[in-house]
Amino acid sequence: MADEVEQQPSTNTVEEPLDLIRLSLDERIYVKMRNDRELRGRLHAYDQHLNMILGDVEETVTTVEIDDETYEELYKSTKRNIPMLFVRGDGVVLVAPPLRVG
Amino acid sequence: MDPVDVQGQSQGEVCSSLRERSISENSLVALLQGMQGHVTTVELRDEGWAQGRLQNVDAFMNLRMRDVLYRGHNMGHTSKLQDLFITGRNIRFVHIPDHMDVLQTIQTQLQRIHRVRTFNREGGGGGRREYCPKKK
């Protein structure tokens, strides 16, 4: 099921959860990963393990710092851009269309 | 052992294990296998990274790399390593070089795998069959 290369299955109906990801091929998607990471990029390929190839990716790493005195939680995020990225599936938590900022 | 050729598998050579070939042709690991011979950056689960030439990738995404610049997660500095083995489980990302055509690389690697199967098939009937012949 190394999709995008093999002949696409003839059915266009959604039969299993992975088919939902197939609908997002070549679209921009949002990927939530383990360790407080998020990716936004164009989905070029995926497989049954959720290994993915994303293009024009922006990775966001979020950290929480606790202020020593006020014990406030300070959320910091670091971003970086990568032109083409292979993502190993076991780090993926969820896949969704890109979130619209309200 | 030939000291000149340190390479395990040269670009695109297909694994001889039937099981690994089946795994590779059904997942995106085929892309990484097609990238053998290229210089890439591999980011690890533990926040380290390794940049070097992909020497060999197996079906489980275990990597061997050559001439590597490696930074472990807790190291402030990078080390130069001639040879590095990374377990597939420890990989988070693999950067794909800009010049690489993803589709073409995957197709080429799948063709190599299919070629190996056909070659085995043509062993005059003595070659190991990879799939059961159709029953009449």
Q: Which residues does chain B have with pLDDT short of 50? A: 1-8
pLDDT in the model for residue B10: 56
For residues B102 and B107, give the distance between their C-alpha atoms in angstroms, rounded to a whole number: 9
Q: Tell the residue number behind the tokens 């070939």, with chain if given.
A: B21
pLDDT bucket at A53, cuts 50 / 70 / 90: very high
Say yes or no to pLDDT of A17 above 80: yes
Q: Which of A49, A53, A88 sits opposite B102 (nearest CB)?
A: A53
Residues of B in contact with A2 (CB under 8 A): 25-28, 30-31, 106, 110
For residues B67 and B70, give the distance between their C-alpha atoms in angstroms, rounded to a whole number: 9
Q: Which of A1, A46, A85 sits opposite B93 (nearest CB)?
A: A85
Nearest chain A alpha carbon to B29: A51
Q: Which of A88, A90, A92, A93 to mutate to test the interface with B (most CBs of B within 10 A)?
A: A88
pLDDT in the model for residue B7: 43
pLDDT in the model for residue B130: 64
Chain A from 26 to 55: CB within 8 A of any B CB: 44-49, 51-53
Q: Which of B23, B24, B26, B28 to mutate to test the interface with A (most CBs of A within 10 A)?
A: B28
Identity of the highest mean pLDDT range in A15-19, A59-63, A97-101: A59-63
* pTM reported for the whole predicted model: 0.83
Q: Which of B45, B96, B106 sits opposite A85 (nearest CB)?
A: B96
> What ipTM was reported for this prediction?
0.82
> CB neighbours (10 Å) of residue B51?
17
Region A66-95: what's the mean pLDDT? Answer: 93
For residues B117 and A39, give the distance between their C-alpha atoms in angstroms, rounded to a whole number: 38
pLDDT in the model for residue A100: 65
pLDDT bucket at A11, cuts 50 / 70 / 90: low
Angle at B100 between CA B94 and CA B102, to 5 degrees: 75
> CB neighbours (10 Å) of residue B39?
15
Give phi and psi for A5, each to the nearest 5.
-105, -50
